[in-house]
Amino acid sequence: MLELLKKQVYEANMELPRRNLVTYTWGNVSGIDRESGLFIIKPSGVDYDKLTPDDMVVMDLDGHKIEGNYNPSSNTDTHLELYKAFDMLGGIVHTHSPWATSWAQSSRSIPCYGTTHADYFYGEIPCSRSLTDEEIKNNYEKNTGKVIIETFSFKDPLHIPGILISNHGPFTWGKTPDEAVHNSVVLEEVAKMAYYTEQLSVTIQCAPQKLQDKHFFRKHGANAYYGQ
């Protein structure tokens, strides 16, 4: 079932350790087939060096396992909530990559200090509020998804393809699983650059809005001209 998507999701998951975004099993990638309403996600707690495409788990948007020999990722309900809320998403990534997670553990959004950030994220990369005790106790993973949705009430998830969950770590997304991983790699680099920028200047300001606009919209939207 959905063999091509299984392979795509498997390959996207395998990119995480290659890009130094995960330690042990600290991450997962999913991808959705909108026509069938099914999504595929990494199994929970399985080492990357033991994974195969056939190990990927097929889920429906009601949270039922449709196919797979393993339990799905413990973050499955977060992915599910995002797929239901944002129909433009085709892939989602969660990691505990150190630079982005450091900002998340500090409960800080990442300001846009330069053009590398602006090429991919239109404005600051937001950090969510902390979950309440009740949200942690009951349906924690589902409520993690809901706090992401809440944070994006007035934001375009394709203009800002990622978030930091306060005290936890980053989620990114894209139109495909590969694009979601690409955005995760960029987020980690941007988080590192922002940290170093703040060490070098205590008076640093966000990049001028005109510069942010130029760099984002030359790669995105109807008038984009970057690339072939």
pLDDT per residue over 102-127, tens digit each? 999 999 999 999 999 999 999 999 99
Residue 142: its pLDDT value, please?
98
pTM of the model: 0.96
Helices 98-105 and 177-200 meet at what angle, rounded to 10? Answer: 70
Which of the following is catalytic: 55, 119, 140, 195?
Answer: 119
Inter-residue contact 69 to 47 (CB < 8 Å): no
Residue 228: its pLDDT value, please?
81
Residue 1: its pLDDT value, please?
86
152 vs 155: CA distance, rounded Å: 5
DSSP letter assigned to residue 207: P
Residue 109: its pLDDT value, please?
98
In the structure encoding, which two tokens stand for residue 116, read together? 């590398």
Name residues of the chain where pLDDT drops below 70.
Answer: none
Q: How far apart are the first and last CA of the chain?
A: 34
Inter-residue contact 132 to 139 (CB < 8 Å): no
Inter-residue contact 209 to 216 (CB < 8 Å): no
- For the beta carbon of residue 154, count every other beta carbon within 10 angstroms: 5
Residue 24: active-site member: no
Residues 6+ apart with CB under 8 A from 134: none
Residue 119: active-site member: yes
Enumerate domains of the chain plus CATH numbers.
3-217 (3.40.225.10)
Q: How wide is the angle at C-alpha 89 spanned by C-alphas 87 and 95, nearest 5°? A: 140
